């Protein structure tokens, strides 16, 4: 099973709402990632979790709050978002970050399309 | 710094035509290189990868060779199909540090029957 699942598929929220995105993998991977992808642009890394600990935050605003409750699950909590935060949010996972000096390949989920009104 | 430059699209081809999508990179050391494909409304799928100079990655008829001397990783396919229509992203992961993918802008491919 090489699947990363994400829920919900679509989400519309107001600027005062609190919502969460969920990502799950059952491949035994120990590194998980959140990316943001605007229309017609490449994905941009937001956060990296390694062994359930946050290892990288790419200077993401605090209105985005990641959480890794266990090795299979990654959440992204959203609060007080702005319309410009509307995007496709992609989750990815990999075996680990690096093995024998080489990066492990990342497997992506289908994404959650978020619209902030 | 690290960066990836891809040819601008869209690339429009007829079925069974030869495909080349150019990708060049700037990086220190020996990055790993990847091609990802994104079909409409979907996430990214890893198409192929290469981790050292002169490595050739291949998958589903697509190929790319890691050329250190020209800092390039061009994607090729001998005969494209309508089902290959998608956006293709070239990406690198820098040597050392954490596992970060740096993507090119993406190239949209449209294949017509």
For the stretch B62-74, pLDDT in tens is 999 999 999 999 9
Query: CA of A17 to nearest chain B CA: how many angstroms apart?
Result: 25
**Is the Cβ pair B99, A103 closer than 8 Å?**
yes
Q: A-chain residues within 8 Å CB-CB of B43?
A: 4, 6, 90, 108-111
| Nearest residue on chain B to A90, alpha-carbon basis | B43
Preferred mutation among A31, A59, A90, A105 to probe B, highest tally of B CBs within 10 A: A105
How many angstroms separate the CA atoms of A15 and A25, rounded? 29
For the stretch A2-47, pLDDT in tens is 699 999 999 999 999 999 999 999 999 999 999 999 999 999 999 9
Query: CA of A93 to nearest chain B CA: how many angstroms apart?
Result: 11
Pairing of strands A4-7, A53-57: unpaired
> Phi and psi (nearest 5°) for B96?
75, 170
Of B32, B45, B106, the CB nearest to A102: B32
Query: CA of B79 to nearest chain A CA: how many angstroms apart?
Result: 26
Pairing of strands A73-79, A18-25: antiparallel
How many angstroms separate the CA atoms of B13 and B15, rounded? 6
Pairing of strands B107-112, B11-14: parallel
Higher pLDDT: B40 or B66? It is B66
How many angstroms separate the CA atoms of A54 and A45, rounded? 13
């Amino acid at each position: 099973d090489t699947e990363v699942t994400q829920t919900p598929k679509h989400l519309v929220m107001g600027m005062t709402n609190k919502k969460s995105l969920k990502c799950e993998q059952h491949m035994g991977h120990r590194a998980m990632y959140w990316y943001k992808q605007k229309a017609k642009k490449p994905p941009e890394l937001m956060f990296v979790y390694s062994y359930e600990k946050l290892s990288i935050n790419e200077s993401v605003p605090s209105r985005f709050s990641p959480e890794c409750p266990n090795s299979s699950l990654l959440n992204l909590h959203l609060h007080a978002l702005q319309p410009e935060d509307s995007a496709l949010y992609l989750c990815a996972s990999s075996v680990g970050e690096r093995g024998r000096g080489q990066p492990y390949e990342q497997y992506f989920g289908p994404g959650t399309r978020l619209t902030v009104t | 710094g690290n960066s990836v430059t891809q040819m601008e699209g869209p690339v429009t081809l007829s079925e069974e035509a030869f495909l080349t999508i150019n990708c060049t990179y700037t990086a220190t050391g020996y990055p790993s290189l990847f091609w990802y494909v994104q079909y409409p409304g979907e996430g990214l799928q890893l198409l192929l990868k290469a981790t050292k100079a002169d490595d050739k990655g291949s998958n589903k008829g697509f190929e790319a060779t890691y050329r250190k001397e020209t800092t390039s990783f061009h994607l090729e396919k001998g005969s494209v199909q309508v089902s290959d229509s998608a956006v293709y992203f070239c990406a690198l992961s820098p040597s050392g540090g954490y596992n970060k993918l740096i993507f090119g802008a993406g190239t949209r491919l449209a294949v017509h029957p």
